[in-house]
Amino acid sequence: MTVPSLSEFQTARADARPVLLSGGAIVTMDPEVPDLAQGDVLIAGSRIVAIGSDLRSDPEHAMVAASALRLDTRGCIIAPGFVDTHRHAWQTQLRRSIPDVDDLGGYVMSTLAGIAPIYEPGDMYVGTHLAALTALDSGVTTVLDFSHNSRTAAHSDAAVSALVDTGIRGVHASMAPHFGDWDHQWPADLERLISASPGSRDSLVTFRLAALATDEIAGPTVAYGRELAAVARDLGVWTSIDAVFGEASSAAILSWAEQAILDPTLTLIHATGLTKEAWSAMGDAGVTVALAPTSDAQIGLESAIPAIDEALAVGIRPGLSVDVEIALASDMVTQMRALHAIQRMRATNDAYRGIDAAPKIGTRDVLDFATLQGAKANALGDVTGSLTPGKQADLLIVRADDVNTMPLNDAVGTLVLGADARNIDTVLVAGAPRKWGGRLIDVDLDRLREEVLRSRDAIRRRAAG
């Protein structure tokens, strides 16, 4: 792969000069736009203009392609950026501090009851900033930050500012804290946040309401129901609902259906251990689902089996999510691989025991979940999630000739089972470079490290005192 320098690329963008990614394998994840073993992607500004085998010879695009700055991407795969549908970003300076937490109760008491109440706005910024940069480094171009520590307006402002400052496509999902003192400004303060944003569909940061499925963990204030549904409707935003698992959540889902507040504007997170009746209602309502494969399996949420078969059985193709870095991996490749292995293990084991087995999913399925379906769950399906002319240029250039990816035989298989963050050479968000030559840009790692350690140590001191 030979490319112009970063400064040349940025100069071309500043001059409104188009960019041509040329010669790489292309994985579009758009059913209407075929993959190419070798081809071109033409970008103008923030958007994808065209995809083809040789755009410089295409009469419709030849003139623009000829004037473009050309990036030679031979030996690489061009693919959509990954989309994370649910990550609690504020906790990140405490990542992997409870790697072997045994159950949800252990996480809730140690983190949401023990640590969250002593977070200051500055800590919210540092944790969210680190999470977003880590996401970009591993190829996640869109992240939904389920920000459930909105103690004050300043806490929320800090979380939003952190997303903005990284240049990631972010969805700030706002929820009140589970425990401890707070200003009770939520959910009313969400209107202020939305009003203060540019408001355009092209804005990198958008907003939604966040809630829990029931009042079992944190009481009725944050439990989804008529009141919060009305808030979301009045604000014109979608709602992400966490802790959706078990019999209580199943009953809640059926209740929402009866109240006509179970609809396509809801994203239900986890969805483990739900009844068949709840799944049927979800499928009928057209909700989206955000699975958290490593969270369900490692922490042991309800059945501990990611609900992929249940979702597919009612026509729901889910998005994927990281959940909590305080105990889990940070990247979407891990989520794809975990789900791929767990579902196929489950199907094989069912067949071995003589039980009717669900069809096995494949690598293209999990890549679809990690890109296009995630974008749909984040209410951004018409903006990102696939390489489609007219969509935003949120994409990855992944080296397929490195020691762990060569030789390139199957591009989708390589993305899911072979590549990782070290192979991601370039990350573009809305056409702007966020990673270049294998390194995050505009990031002072020494300064970042100092800020993260300072925040972590201060949190620990306050917790001990």
Confidence of residue 4 (pLDDT cuts 50, 70, 90): confident
Q: Which amino acid is at 119?
A: Y
Percent of the chain with pLDDT over 70: 98
Residue 226 pLDDT > 60: yes
Hey, how many other C-beta atoms are within 10 angstroms of the C-beta on 260?
Answer: 10
Task: Return the biggest CA–CA distance within the chain.
Answer: 70
Residue 225 pLDDT > 90: yes
List residues bridging with 428 in a β-sheet: 395, 433
* Predicted pLDDT at 465: 82
Q: Residue 124 half-sphere exposure, CB side, CA atoms within 13 Å?
A: 27
For the segment 398-406, the average pLDDT, to the nearest whole number, is: 98
Q: pTM of this prediction?
A: 0.97
CATH architecture of 6-80+388-440: Roll (2.30)
* Predicted pLDDT at 61: 94
Percent of the chain with pLDDT over 90: 95
* Predicted pLDDT at 2: 57
Q: How far apart are CA 375 and CA 385, in angstroms?
A: 5
For the segment 240-263, the average pLDDT, to the nearest whole number, is: 97
pLDDT in tens, 67-86: 999 999 999 999 999 999 99
Confidence of residue 197 (pLDDT cuts 50, 70, 90): confident
Confidence of residue 203 (pLDDT cuts 50, 70, 90): confident
* Predicted pLDDT at 439: 97
Range 82-377 has CATH code 3.20.20.140: yes
Reduced to 3 states, what is the DSSP secondary structure of residue 221? helix
* Predicted pLDDT at 332: 98
pLDDT in tens, 389-401: 999 999 999 999 9
Q: Which amino acid is at 243?
A: A
**Angle, vertex CA 97, rays to CA 96 and CA 102, nearest 5:** 85
Look at residues 160, 139, 150 and name the one whose alpha carbon lies nearest to residue 203.
160
Arithmetic mean of pLDDT over the chain: 96
Q: Exposed e or buried b for every residue in 220-240, given b needs 16+ CB within 10 A?
A: ebbbbbeebbebbeebebbbb
Look at residues 243, 42, 80 and name the one whose alpha carbon lies nearest to residue 148.
243
Residue 285 pLDDT > 70: yes
Does 407 sit behind a cis peptide bond, omega within 30 degrees of 0 on the bond before it? Answer: yes
Residue 190 pLDDT > 90: yes
For the segment 239-248, the average pLDDT, to the nearest whole number, is: 97
Taking the domains of the chain in order of start, what are their residue ranges? 6-80+388-440, 82-377
Residue 1 pLDDT > 60: no
Answer whether 211's CB lies under 8 Å from 198's CB: no
* Predicted pLDDT at 202: 61
pLDDT in tens, 26-71: 999 999 999 999 999 999 999 999 999 999 999 999 999 999 999 9
Look at residues 75, 67, 34 and name the one whose alpha carbon lies nearest to residue 426.
75
Query: Which structure tokens are listed for 66?
Result: 């000829």
Look at residues 19, 62, 27, 67 and name the one whose alpha carbon lies nearest to residue 43.
19
Hey, how many other C-beta atoms are within 10 angstroms of the C-beta on 404?
Answer: 11
